[in-house]
Amino acid sequence: MADTIAAVSTLLGRSAIGILRMSGEEALAVAERVFRPDNGRPLGQQPTHKLVNGCFYGADGALLDQCVAVWCRGPRSYTGEDTVELQCHGSPTVLAAGLRSLFAAGARQALRGEFTKRAFLNGKLDLVRAEAVIDLIDAETEEMMANAAHQLGGAVSARMEAVYSDLTDVMSHFHAVIDYPDEEIEPFLLEQVDGTLSRSAGTLERLLRSFERGRVVREGVPCAIIGRPNAGKSSLLNALLGYERAIVTDVAGTTRDTIEEKLLLGGVLLRLTDTAGLRGTEDPVERIGVERARAAAASARLLLAVFDGSAPLTADDERVLEAAAAAEKRVAVVNKADLPGVWTPAERERIAAAFPTVCTLSAKEGTGLEALSGAVAALFAEAEPAPLGEMITNERQAEALSRALEALGRARSALRAGITPDALLTDVEEAMAALGEITGRTVREDITNRIFERFCVGK
Ligand SMILES: Nc1nc2c(ncn2[C@@H]2O[C@H](COP(=O)(O)OP(=O)(O)OP(=O)(O)O)[C@@H](O)[C@H]2O)c(=O)[nH]1
Ligand SMILES: [Mg+2]
C-alpha cells in the first residue's frame, strides 16, 4: 500500500458539513491518533463503512470538533486502500486545523486527483471512468451530467472491452495459423475474422461519431452576435440572458468591445459574444471594436446575424451578409418585430436566400425567443443520438479511437489482399494498443499524470 495522503474534499467555505479524507497504509493509524470514538473503542475496532461519532483533536491535543468518522478497509474502498473520512462541521477553521492535525499525525497533502489516481492504479476504475469523474464534476449542462454519470457506470468501457476481447480472439486464431505456416488458412476463418474486424470498426466508428456532439456538450459552441449598429445585438444578448448584461442605447456604436457570456439555448451551451456594430468608421476605438467583431465572427461556429426589420437594409447590412457567408452555421434574426415591418419582398428574399434559418423576434419585448431557441436546438440536433453515456467528450479518447480505426481499416484491407497473417497481426495489435490507451491498460505514465492533474485536490 502507498503512503498516506490527506485532503479537504469539500469546498473550503462555511457550510453544513466539511469532509477530510485520507487514503493509504497508515490511514487508520493516523485517524486513531486524532479521533476518539464516543463509545471508547478505537476506530479500528469499529465496524467498517459505518458512521462513528467521536471527538477530533488538533496537533496540540486541543478539541477541534465533535464529528463523524467512517473507515473502510481496502480493497473495499474508493481508492482500493484503507481510507478514513472525517465528516466535520463545515467550518474552514476546523478543516484547516484538522488537516494540520492529520499531517502532524503522519499523513501528507494529497495532490490533485491523487485519490482517483490511486483508484485507477489499484484497478478500481479504468481511465474512461476516471475521466468521467472529472466530467461529472465539471458538467455545466444536464446532458453533460447524464453522459458523465453513465460513463462512470462503465457504458463506454463496456463497449471498448467487448471490442478488445473480439480482437484478442482474432489474434489468438492467427497466432495459431502462424505457428503452422504450411497449412492453408480456412476460407471460413478468413470470413469470420473479417466479420469480427468489421463489427469492431462499426462500434468504434459509432463512438467516434459521437465526439462531434460530445465537443458541443463539453465545451459549448462559440457563437457571435453580429449586425449593423443599432440592430439590437446587445438587446438580444440581454433578452437571452434574462438580465441587462450589456449597455443598450439608441446611439449607434454603443458596444465597442466584445462581451462574452455563457448561455444554455435550445439545450446547447453557447459561448456567446456580443460585438460592435459592423460599419465603416473613422473612430479609432470603434475601428478596433469592428475588427474584434470580425474576428469573433470568423472563429464562431454559430453566427446570429441581427437585422432591424423596422428599417430598410443598408450598406452596413451588406457587410453583415458578407461576414456571415463563411459561417459554419448561421441564423438571421430579424429584430424589432414589435414595430411595423418595412421590408420589401426583395429585401426579405435577400435575407432568406443568405440564411437557411430566419427568426423574427423582438429583443426589446422578449417575444419570439422560443423560435430562436428551437432553431439552435435543430441546428445541433443529431440524426442518431448516442445511447446515454456513450458520447465521447474527450479529445484524448477520440484521437486514440481514430488511430484504432485506421489500424483496423489497414488490417481489413490486408486480409482482403491476402497479405501474410503476421502483417495483419501487427495492425490488429496496433488497434488493441490504441484501445488500451483509452481504458488505461497500456497508457504511458506521463499521460496518466496529466489526466489526474485536471482533477481537484481531494478527489
Ligand atoms: N422597438 C424595438 N427597439 C429595439 C429592439 N431591440 C433593440 N431596440 C432598440 O434599438 C436600439 C439599439 O439597441 P442595441 O441593443 O443597443 O443595439 P446594438 O445592435 O447592440 O447596437 P450597437 O452596440 O450600437 O452596435 C436601442 O434603442 C434599443 O432599445 C426591439 O426589439 N424593438
Ligand atoms: Mg450593442
By mean pLDDT, which of 43-47, 140-144, 443-447 is the weakest?
443-447
Q: Which of 181-190, 389-398, 446-455 has the lowest mean pLDDT?
A: 181-190
Of 225, 226, 233, 235, the residue with max ligand 1 atoms within 8 A of its CB, to mutate for a pocket test, comes to 235
- % residues pLDDT > 70 (the chain): 98
- The last residue of a domain, from among 356, 379, 402: 379
Cα 331 from chain centroid?
A: 26
Q: Which residues of 242-274 are buried (b: 16+ CB within 10 A; e: fewer)?
A: eeebbebeeeebbbbebbebebbbbebbbbbbb
User: Nearest ligand to the C-alpha of residue 306?
Assistant: 1
Task: Give me the CATH number covering residue 229.
Answer: 3.40.50.300
Same domain, yes or no: 36 and 65: yes
Residue type, 397: Q
> Measured from the CB, is residue 277 less than 6 Å from ligand 1?
yes
Question: What's the gap in Å between 228 CA and the centre of ligand 1?
Answer: 10
Q: Are 180 and 281 within one domain?
A: no
Of 148-157, 218-227, 384-393, the range with the lowest mean pLDDT is: 384-393
Cα 381–Cα 359–Cα 274 angle in degrees, nearest 5: 85
Q: Are residues 167 and 273 in the same domain?
A: no
Same domain, 207 and 224: no
Residue 389 lies in a domain: no
Q: Which residue has the higher pLDDT, 194 or 20?
A: 20
Give the model confidence (pLDDT) of 299-333 as tens digits. Answer: 999 999 999 999 999 999 999 999 999 899 999 99
Q: How far apart are CA 398 and CA 204, in angstroms?
A: 10
State which of 230, 255, 261 you would mutate to test the pocket of ligand 1, scoring each by most atoms of that ligand within 8 A of its C-beta.
Answer: 230
Q: Are residues 300 and 258 in the same domain?
A: yes
Same domain, 366 and 277: yes
- Calculate the alpha carbon distances from 430 to 205, 208, 405, 417, 418 in Å: 16, 17, 10, 19, 19
Which CA distances in Å does 181 have to 168, 175, 317?
A: 20, 10, 73
Residue span of the structural domain in which 301 resides = 220-379
228 & 375 share domain? yes
Domain contains 359: yes
CB 390 within 8 A of CB 159: yes
Residues 338 and 265 in one domain: yes
HEC sequence for 333-374: EEECCCCCCCCCHHHHHHHHHHCCEEEECECCCCECHHHHHH
Dihedral, 381, 385, 390, 391 alpha carbons, nearest 10: -20
340 lines ligand 1 (CB under 6 A): no
Residue 388 lies in a domain: no
CA-238 nearest atom, ligand 1: 15
CB of 360 shorter than 6 A to ligand 1 = no
* pLDDT exceeds 80 at position 186: no
Torsion over CA: 357, 358, 364, 368 (sign): negative
Q: Verify that 225 and 352 share a domain, yes or no.
A: yes
Does 384 map to a domain?
Answer: no
The response to whether residue 200 sits with its C-beta less than 6 Å from ligand 1 reads no
Residue 350 inside a domain? The answer is: yes
**Do residue 97 and residue 147 come from a single domain?**
no
d(CA 358, CA 286): 28
End of a domain among 350, 379, 408? 379
Closest ligand, as measured to the CA of 235? 1
Is the model's pLDDT at 1 over the cut of 60? no
Length of the chain measured in residues: 459
- For ligand 1, the distance from its centroid to the CA atom of residue 341, given in whole angstroms, is 15
In a domain, 123, yes or no: no
DSSP states of 114-130: HHHHHHHHTTSS-HHHH
Rounded CA-CA distance 235/342 in Å is 20
Q: Considering 329, 349, 379, which residue would you say is the last residue of a domain?
A: 379
State the Cα–Cα distance between residues 167 and 408, nearest whole angstrom. Answer: 10
Q: Tell me how crowded residue 90 is: count the other CB atoms within 10 A of its CB.
A: 17
* Residues in Cβ contact with 269 at an 8 Å cutoff, skipping those fewer than 6 apart: 140, 141, 216, 217, 219, 220, 221, 262, 263
Mean pLDDT of the chain: 92
Same domain, 209 and 224: no
Pair 225, 206 in one domain: no
**Distance from the CA of 276 to the center of ligand 2, in angstroms?**
6
At 101-149, the pLDDT tens digits run 999 999 999 999 999 999 999 999 999 999 999 999 988 888 889 999 9
Q: Residue 358 domain-assigned?
A: yes
Is 227 close to ligand 1, i.e. is its CB under 6 Å away? yes
> Ligand 1 pocket, 235 CB below 6 A?
yes
Instruction: Tell me the CA–centroid distance for residue 180 and ligand 1, in Å.
Output: 80
Q: What is the CATH number of the domain that holds 433?
A: 1.20.120.430
- Structurally, the chain folds into a number of domains equal to 3
Neighbours of ion ligand 2 (CB under 5 A): 233-234, 254-255
Sheet containing strand 302-308, strands side by side: 259-265, 268-274, 221-227, 302-308, 329-335, 357-360
Q: CB of 74 closer than 6 A to ligand 1? A: no
Look at residue 245 in the predicted model and tell me its pLDDT.
Answer: 95
CB burial of 9-33 (b: ≥16 within 10 Å; e: otherwise) equals: bbeeeeeeebbbbbbbebbbbbbbb
Is residue 268 within 8 A of residue 287, CB to CB? The reply is no
Residue 292 covered by a domain:
yes
Alpha-carbon distance of 334 to 331, in angstroms, equals 10
